[in-house]
């Protein structure tokens, strides 16, 4: 799974010529726009339409809400229902769903390394 930390579909799409799969950072930013900042759901449709022009295989892109390089969703947006909806979208949308450990515990760490909370010492069983 390749990674290009950029929200521009045209820029990231070119990487699919060199790696078979990569994280869908452009969709990551759209997910944040919708569930974190309250933008229209049309943002997601528009992103998919845009990506169709730049990616050779949208279904081979990793879709995620949280990961090890960014502050967690709940760090900036503490609404757990919005977080759950963003997760539901990422798990059922086009692409390969990626679920970062600790999301099930509602971890809300900030920028790296604060977003890498230790699961074995902070787990609510």
Chain centroid to CA 97: 9
CA distance linking residue 64 with residue 29, whole number of Å: 10
CA distance linking residue 65 with residue 117, whole number of Å: 16
The answer to whether 23 and 3 are in contact (CB under 8 A) is yes
| pTM of the complete model | 0.93
pLDDT tens digits for range 92-119: 999 999 999 999 999 999 998 998 988 8
Chain position carrying tokens 């390969």? 96
Domain ranges of the chain: 9-105
pLDDT tens digits for range 13-56: 999 999 988 999 999 999 999 999 999 999 999 999 999 999 99
Distances, alpha carbon 106 to alpha carbons 29, 69, 100, in Å: 20, 17, 11
């Amino acid at each position: 799974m390749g990674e290009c930390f950029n929200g521009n579909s045209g820029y990231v799409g070119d990487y699919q010529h060199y790696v078979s799969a990569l994280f869908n950072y452009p969709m990551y930013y759209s997910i944040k726009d919708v569930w974190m900042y309250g933008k229209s759901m049309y943002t997601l449709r528009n992103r998919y339409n845009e990506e169709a022009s730049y990616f050779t295989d949208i279904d081979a892109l990793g879709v995620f809400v949280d990961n090890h390089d960014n502050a967690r969703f709940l760090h900036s947006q503490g609404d757990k229902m919005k977080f759950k909806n963003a997760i539901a979208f990422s798990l059922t949308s086009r692409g390969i769903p990626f679920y970062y450990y600790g999301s099930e515990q509602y971890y809300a760490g900030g920028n790296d390394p604060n977003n890498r909370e230790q699961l074995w010492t902070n787990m609510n069983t």
